[in-house]
Amino acid sequence: MDAAVASLLGAVAGGSATFVGTVITNVSQSRRDDRKAQQTQKAEAYGNALRNLLLVLHLRSGLTSPGESIIKLEQVPDRFAAVVEAEYWVTILTAVCGSAYRQRLVAASDELAGVIGRLLEEPGMPPATEGSFWHVYTTVSTAARADLADVN
């Protein structure tokens, strides 16, 4: 084989290997970046859902002697806004969570939507809603601990 042809074949083989290596590196980096962005989006959704659920659960004007909470009329809009925010973020979670947690979070989202429906129908804060808020909070926090630890 002529030296020029051998050099040309060597250059083509070396260039091809470099090109393939660059493509594989870029694809791997892109996949890592996508996973990191998904994990960040998931963490944001869990964090915002939990923050708003805690606001709903702990926003109080005072407590009575048996431990019943008091919410003054002027705080109702703030609490309702937190309920709506919590519903929004729990709904977002149903799209970004890991598939192992989706069914539980969809049920929690549906439960929260039912609470909002009851709030719109009944004046004040029906007693049954407090238990629903705690149930949704517990469901979301349990899923968050497990789902955010699952880094595949």
Residues 23-77: tens digit of each pLDDT: 777 777 777 867 888 889 999 999 999 999 998 888 776 666 565 666 777 777 8
**Is 6 part of any domain?**
no
**Is 11 part of any domain?**
no
What pLDDT shows up at residue 69?
63
Stretch 92-120: mean pLDDT, rounded?
A: 89
Higher pLDDT among residues 150 and 32, named by residue: 32
**Is 22 part of any domain?**
no
Stretch 116-126: mean pLDDT, rounded?
A: 68
CATH number of the domain bearing residue 56: 1.20.120.660
**Is 32 part of any domain?**
no
Domain count of the chain?
1
Query: Could you identify the residue written with the tokens 């519903």?
Result: 87
Q: What is the distance between the alpha carbons of residues 134 and 6, in angstroms, rounded to a whole number?
A: 74
| Domain containing residue 142 | 37-149
Stretch 138-148: mean pLDDT, rounded?
A: 93
The angle subtended at Cα 146 by Cα 145 and Cα 148, nearest 5°, is: 70
**Is 10 part of any domain?**
no
